[in-house]
Amino acid sequence: MKNSDRLHEKELGQINPDIKNVKLSEKTEKILSGKHDNEPLDPETQPVLHNMNLKIKAKTMINWAELSRTLAGDRSAITKDRIPQKHSETINTLIDSIADWLQKTQTGL
């Protein structure tokens, strides 16, 4: 590494002017500003993201302590981030069922 490639201490943390002046699309600007945070995902144009979002919502609806107590007998054996292989099929079925229910209630079917 040459000395000219190294940043001087006072330059650390500064944004390169070439990067600072990059123009982003209007959609990208809105996404980065947070204006799209509460907009629902369109299942027809973004089916994968829509399904992932439904599964994330389903996981947040589950009372993991009670689910763990029911399946494993210990309220801390199963968590949202730690699902034992023994119970993964049952829990994935539950998550998929909740996601399907969310899909039906959101679309009014």
32 or 96: which carries more pLDDT confidence?
Answer: 96
Please name the residue that has the structure tokens 């994935």: 92
44 or 86: which carries more pLDDT confidence?
Answer: 86
pLDDT for res 105: 87
pLDDT of 69 higher than 50: yes
- How far is CA 11 from each of CA 6, 14, 16, 38, rounded to the nearest angstrom? 10, 6, 9, 38
Other beta carbons less than 10 A from residue 40's beta carbon = 8
Query: Please, which residues have CB within 8 angstroms of residue 14's CB and are 6 or more apart in sequence?
Result: none
72 neighbors 78 (Cβ within 8 angstroms): yes
Model confidence pLDDT, tens digit, residues 14-68: 766 666 677 778 877 777 777 666 666 677 778 888 888 899 999 999 999 999 9
pLDDT for res 3: 54
**Mean of pLDDT values over 61-87:** 95
68 neighbors 74 (Cβ within 8 angstroms): yes
pLDDT for res 1: 46
pLDDT for res 101: 93
Query: Please, which residues have CB within 8 angstroms of residue 79's CB and are 6 or more apart in sequence?
Result: 64, 68
106 or 80: which carries more pLDDT confidence?
Answer: 80
79 neighbors 69 (Cβ within 8 angstroms): no
Q: Could you give the CA distance from residue 12 to residue 24 in angstroms, rounded to a whole number?
A: 24
pLDDT for res 89: 96
